[in-house]
Amino acid sequence: MRRMLPNAITLARLLLVPVFGWAIVAGKAALAPSLLVALALSDWLDGFLARRYRVESRLGTLLDPVADKLAQLTGLVALAWAPHRAFTQVPGFFLSLVLMREMLLVYGAARVRLSRGSVRVKPRLEGKVSTGAIFLLLLAACLGAPPWAVWTLCGAGAPFVLVSGVRYVIDGHRQMKGGAPGAAGPTGGGTPR
């Protein structure tokens, strides 16, 4: 039972993502931020349980970032394109920035996988800060924060989105040359995830 719990939480998080998007579009002012908090807490909980009980799995390492990205992108798209009046609109530039980073990373990961056979992702501080900034932005927008506050959070988060994207591209380039992510050079030793 313990072994399956982190993956079950991740799967439940994946199932909550479309409900979160619907809650934003439908203007459910109490439900949307509650679901966002549940998504964030479940993300922390599944990782904590997997590490605590040493039951990290290949499925979990694949599904966890997918669930995170889907939750972020669903919230950003819904709040940028179809926000209900109960919420604050997210600026299109921030959505575009995050979408471009994600498309670049998916393309890069596919290239590395095709040329090297596998992709190793080393979590980066910039990526974690970027994720936290996006969560705070989504929460502020779902709570109907003033537009200036949402724009301020976008301005504060944008550099981390950019830097994390650049760092992951550098890691991908190193892997294409035969090195590990985060390594000092093509043959250096990084720490795979």
Contact of 134 with 154, CB cutoff 8 Å: no
Q: What is the DSSP letter of 35?
A: H
Contact of 155 with 147, CB cutoff 8 Å: no
Amino acid identity, residue 190? G
For residue 109, name the pLDDT band (cuts at 50, 70, 90): confident
Q: 117's torsion region: left (phi>0), alpha (psi -120 to 50) or beta?
A: left
**Which token pair is 146?**
């003033």
Contact of 141 with 32, CB cutoff 8 Å: no
Query: Cα–Cα–Cα angle for 180, 46, 142, nearest 5°?
Result: 100
Q: What is the DSSP letter of 121?
A: -
d(CA 47, CA 40): 11
Domain ranges of the chain: 1-83, 88-193
What is the residue-averaged pLDDT of the chain?
Answer: 88
Cα–Cα distances (Å) from 40 to 13, 37, 113, 165, in that order, read: 9, 5, 29, 21
List pLDDT tens digits, range 132-176.
Answer: 999 999 999 999 999 999 999 999 999 999 999 999 899 888 888
pLDDT at position 193 is: 33
List pLDDT tens digits, range 40-80.
Answer: 999 999 989 988 998 888 888 888 889 999 999 999 999 99
d(CA 84, CA 21): 11
Predicted TM-score (pTM) of this structure: 0.86
d(CA 159, CA 166): 10
